[in-house]
Structure 1
Amino acid sequence: MLDTRRHISKLIDHAYHLSQKFVFIAFGVSFLLAFALAFIPTYSLKQDAVYTLFILLFAAGLWVSEAIPAFAVSLLIIALEIVLLGFPNFDFATPSDNWKVYLQPWSSPLIFLFLAGFIMAAAASKTKLDIWLAKKILFYVGGKPHNIITGLIGITFVLSMFISNTATAAMMMTILIPMLTHIKESNPFKKSIFLAVVVGANLGGMATIIGTPPNAIAVGILGQDAPSFIGWIGMALPPALVVTLILRFVILKLYPSNQSFIDFKIIKEVEHFDDSTKKFSKIPTVPSWKKNVTITIFTLTILMWLSGPLHHVPTTVVSLIPIIGFTLFGIIDADDISSIRWDVIILIIGGLSLGLAVSKTGLDLWFATLVSTDGLSILLLMFIFSYLIVVISNFMSNTAAANIMLPIVIAIAITISEHSTQMVVVGVTLSASFAMSLVVSTPPNAIIHASKKVDSKDFLILGAITALIGPVTVIGWLYCIDIIF
């Protein structure tokens, strides 16, 4: 036994050292490639634009290789911008405020908007509002398989509009496991209930600005031309629903149930099912006043976001309602604040700072000159970059992919038609959410795959269909809106 433990310990140490070596190799290769591509060729660029090109290429290499965490890349981007762009010719002795501009994204209104989303998610989780809502809906949809799938996709989709898809998928897992006890082992329908959550979690975030980080990055890059909260919903929700409905049909066809009725109403009384002990655990008691306060703040915030054109209160100002409300009533405490996904927020900040540098130094205009726009229509541009970002986002974070691609997309779009810039950026951004072909493509995929109830090939089939029909649906809808309005 002792020898076995020593052997395992040696294997773990060996694996650790190999991973460390990979980190150094990937970091070094990313740096050398970025340096060679940025500084060796002669470009018609100013010095600060060349430095920005180096930062962009270096960040892209690190994001693709995942040599270091994605949020760490964002911090590195800001540091490099301050050193390389904030102090011309590395003159630190001369007083300069140029470097401060690259820290401005830390105070961007979008950060408070996203922070509000995370705090709302924490409040819903802490008061069990999310689980209560999900179980209420599933209890009333009935026991017919197609209704169960509709309910699962629907509640996951809606929750992902305002809560991170990672948190939503994790929460839904507490409901899915108990459901399995009411489904026959030989029933392929078991896979369909997990894939329903994958679809709802990945596509629901498309519908709102706070639903997924790429949406926030797009809004930041568009600036004054960005759609409002309700405007984004109008552009994103219809195509997201259409693709979701198509995938619902696909799931039911690929994994049909051999049971005409499934009785799982017992799950309304439980929160968690331990698969190892085969026992249910009761929902912890939450004071009713906390639930009522949470529901009230949720309702007020969402209604204020949706009715922005009527009261004209900025979306970010509305975001202060949940931020202040949940902390004021003690529903969110210091521990909850520390557990917020600050890494995601830092990733967004890094993307905004990178986009700012690309625009400020004129690198975006140079990228635009590299692409011949003669005969290139807005529609063709959208198709090219929408499918390109789907492919890229399957192998790396869709947030990182948006950070890299959107500054280039907007620069090229402006040279073709300034009027359609918003449509192009939104279309490409939304297409990033259709990347769900691999286990590592999105956090919900990884969470569902960890249940060992779904195989990698199941993601590949569903993801391939999504990648094909998704961008077409989005582009078609946005083009119709552009023509009408």
Structure 2
Amino acid sequence: LQGQRLYTSVRLTGLLVGLFLLIMPFIFPAPEGLSDAGWKVMGVTGLMAVWWVTGPVNITVTALVPLVAFPFLGVADFKAAAAPYSHPTVYLFFGGFLIARALQRWNLHKRIALIIASSVGTRPDMLILGFMIAVAFLSMWVSNTATAVMMLPVAASVISYISGPDGDANPANNRIGTAMMLGIAYAASIGGIGTLVGTPPNAFMAAFLSAEPYNYEISFVGWMALAVPLVIIMLPLCWFILTHIMFRECLSPELRKSGAEGRKAVREALKELGPMKTAEWRVGGVFLFVALAWMFRPLLSSLPGLETINDSSIGVLGGLLMFLMPAGTLKDGLKVRLLSWEDAEKLPWGVLILFGGGLSMAALISQTGASDWIGSGLSSFETMPLLLMTLCITGTILLLTELTSNVTTTAALLPVIAALGTSAGIDPILLAVPAALAASCAFMLPVATPPNAVVFASGYITIPQMIKAGVLVNLVAIGVITLAAYFYLPVFF
């Protein structure tokens, strides 16, 4: 486009600062206690962190830097630098993407959401709760963004029924609509933490901790046992804040009748989908098979001949079944499969590359001893009580994620946080898990998460409204995650 600048002042500054950090090891000697290789890795880490924050290039492009920088700097050959890009967790997410894409192609995700949303009471606050439960459940399996986009028009229809023909003509002043839209965005983020494939920081953290020197295996069902209770706690608290504190209009007795009309709108949307199609039944069958296989994978692994299966192989199997299984005959007589490669081309491939880049960076930080050096530099925090340390990490990560990508924040800071734990004699997993959870809980700004941006674009929300509600939900998230990490997490690890 004519007149479009390639680099804003912030991006140009970030580009130059990142390049300076990259060459800094060739200008200044390595700090005491850090090897030359570790010093070079810190230069690459600095470049990637600055570029991720300032965005001179797309974050996925930045994730390719280790493939070039590490071999050219002599700290690792290409094979070693590239190995993390094919980490099993990358394929776990890939399989999850394929399954989610099949759900979306045949609208099964919408049917599930509408069934849940239509099963609650007729009061406006209960309708909002129904939408939040539906969105949270789907966000455990389907992209948070796709879930929010799908539910937006249905929610708008419900809001119009509740407001009635004499309702406020300005959507920004429709406070019930504001509560509904914020509930959708917040539920998408909260629900995502429930599974390893629900949001990228979860999977990145599991992959990071599975490598040397930590060697933790966090299974799919193990993570659900830890995280789903947090979803169950945080979701009603978030709903209470929205409907009983911020937007008490949702409790108005006068609106109960219009709430019944809103429920009718949900059921009409469900009716428009028609009866369950053959393709939906088959997609649902594969989805159920994969979910059960993930949950009972430890039992499956104990069977003769199945000792080597893992969550990643189960996820990819689910994707392959979608490619192989026929969808039945469509109305126009066409016969297609549940998933085609044209559908797969629409997957967020950049997220998979982003995983690889972050894991490659983290692996070299550990292998060159840079993590030990980082930990020694944070020795002043070693005397801090674990509860206070967890609180500080959770709050810091959550606030950073309000302005930066959650997965880039996790990739950049998880090695530092793990090093801090090791230096302080604390099991790194006790700090890494709350950090990953906090990275997905940003509720204050439209730029914080894609669901926030999606609902903000609806016109029902102003930035001050999102900030006021988001501050309270952020405080709840910080408190729940901190207490869970301190009291509940040690039960699992």
How would you bin the TM-score normalised by the shorter chain? Answer: 0.7 to 0.9
Give the counterpart of 2:371 among 326, 348, 364: 364
Distance 1:344 1:482, change over 3 A: closer
Which amino acid counterpart does residue 375 of structure 1 have in structure 2? T
Distance 1:18 1:353, change over 3 A: closer
Equivalence for 2:320: 324
Give the paired residue count.
452
Equivalence for 1:68: 57
CA shift for structure 1 position 361: 1.0
Equivalence for 1:275: none
Q: Which moved more, 1:123-132 or 1:452-461?
A: 452-461
Q: What TM-score results when the alignment is normalised by the length of structure 2?
A: 0.86
2:117 is equivalent to residue 117 of structure 1: no
2:138 is equivalent to residue 159 of structure 1: yes
Give the counterpart of 1:315 among 308, 311, 315: 311
Which amino acid counterpart does residue 151 of structure 2 have in structure 1? M
CA shift for structure 1 position 287: 7.9
Q: Which moved more, 1:191-200 or 1:452-461?
A: 452-461
Q: Following the alignment from structure 2 to structure 1, what is the Cα–Cα distance between the partners of residues 48 and 406?
A: 14
Q: Which moved more, 1:26-35 or 1:420-429?
A: 26-35
Q: Following the alignment from structure 2 to structure 1, what is the Cα–Cα distance between the partners of residues 314 and 69?
A: 34
Which amino acid counterpart does residue 216 of structure 2 have in structure 1? D
Equivalence for 2:465: 458
Equivalence for 1:249: 240
Distance 1:422 1:483, change over 3 A: closer
Equivalence for 1:230: 221
Unaligned stretches of 5+ in structure 1? 1-11, 88-97, 272-280
Equivalence for 1:342: 349
Which amino acid counterpart does residue 210 of structure 1 have in structure 2? V
Give the counterpart of 2:453 among 446, 457, 467: 446
Q: What TM-score results when the alignment is normalised by the length of structure 1?
A: 0.88
Equivalence for 1:221: 208
Q: Cα deviation per residue 1:124-169 (whole Å; 9 max; x = unaligned)?
A: 1111101111112222223211211111110111111111111111
Q: Following the alignment from structure 1 to structure 2, what is the Cα–Cα distance between the partners of residues 21 and 471?
A: 34
- Report the secondary structure of 2:140's partner residue: helix
Equivalence for 2:115: 136
CA shift for structure 1 position 441: 0.4
Q: Following the alignment from structure 2 to structure 1, what is the Cα–Cα distance between the partners of residues 132 and 25?
A: 45
2:37 is equivalent to residue 48 of structure 1: yes
Q: Following the alignment from structure 2 to structure 1, what is the Cα–Cα distance between the partners of residues 365 and 456?
A: 37
Distance 1:249 1:346, change over 3 A: same
Give the counterpart of 1:437 among 444, 447, 469: 444
Q: Cα deviation per residue 1:68-111 (whole Å; 9 max; x = unaligned)?
A: 11111101233212322456xxxxxxxxxx33111112221111
CA shift for structure 1 position 49: 0.8
Distance 1:158 1:361, change over 3 A: same
Equivalence for 2:333: none
Residues 176, 194 of structure 1: 8 Å contact kept: yes
Equivalence for 1:387: 395
Give the counterpart of 2:15 among 17, 24, 27: 27
CA shift for structure 1 position 252: 0.2
2:414 is equivalent to residue 415 of structure 1: no
CA shift for structure 1 position 25: 4.1
Within-5 A mapping of 1:76-155:
76-86=65-75, 98-155=77-134
Residues 156, 177 of structure 2: 8 Å contact kept: no
Distance 1:455 1:138, change over 3 A: same
Give the counterpart of 1:375 among 370, 379, 383: 383
Q: Following the alignment from structure 2 to structure 1, what is the Cα–Cα distance between the partners of residues 396 and 9?
A: 31
Give the counterpart of 2:180 among 170, 173, 193: 193
Which amino acid counterpart does residue 348 of structure 2 have in structure 1? R
Residues 153, 200 of structure 1: 8 Å contact kept: yes
Q: Following the alignment from structure 2 to structure 1, what is the Cα–Cα distance between the partners of residues 54 and 490?
A: 41
Distance 1:389 1:282, change over 3 A: same
Work out the percentage of aligned pairs sharing the same amino acid. Answer: 24
Q: Following the alignment from structure 1 to structure 2, what is the Cα–Cα distance between the partners of residues 308 and 176?
A: 37
Q: Which moved more, 1:461-470 or 1:44-53?
A: 461-470
Residues 38, 53 of structure 1: 8 Å contact kept: no
CA shift for structure 1 position 33: 4.8
Q: Following the alignment from structure 2 to structure 1, what is the Cα–Cα distance between the partners of residues 441 and 435?
A: 10
Q: Following the alignment from structure 1 to structure 2, what is the Cα–Cα distance between the partners of residues 307 and 452?
A: 44
Q: Following the alignment from structure 1 to structure 2, what is the Cα–Cα distance between the partners of residues 422 and 334?
A: 38
Residues 390, 485 of structure 2: 8 Å contact kept: no
CA shift for structure 1 position 19: 4.6
Equivalence for 2:329: none
2:477 is equivalent to residue 477 of structure 1: no
Q: Following the alignment from structure 2 to structure 1, what is the Cα–Cα distance between the partners of residues 360 and 373?
A: 18
CA shift for structure 1 position 180: 2.7
Residues 7, 56 of structure 2: 8 Å contact kept: no
Which amino acid counterpart does residue 248 of structure 1 have in structure 2? W
Unaligned stretches of 5+ in structure 2? 169-173, 302-308, 326-336
Q: Following the alignment from structure 1 to structure 2, what is the Cα–Cα distance between the partners of residues 112 and 286?
A: 34
Equivalence for 1:427: 434
Q: Following the alignment from structure 1 to structure 2, what is the Cα–Cα distance between the partners of residues 383 and 174?
A: 38
Equivalence for 2:267: 268
CA shift for structure 1 position 478: 2.7
CA shift for structure 1 position 310: 2.4
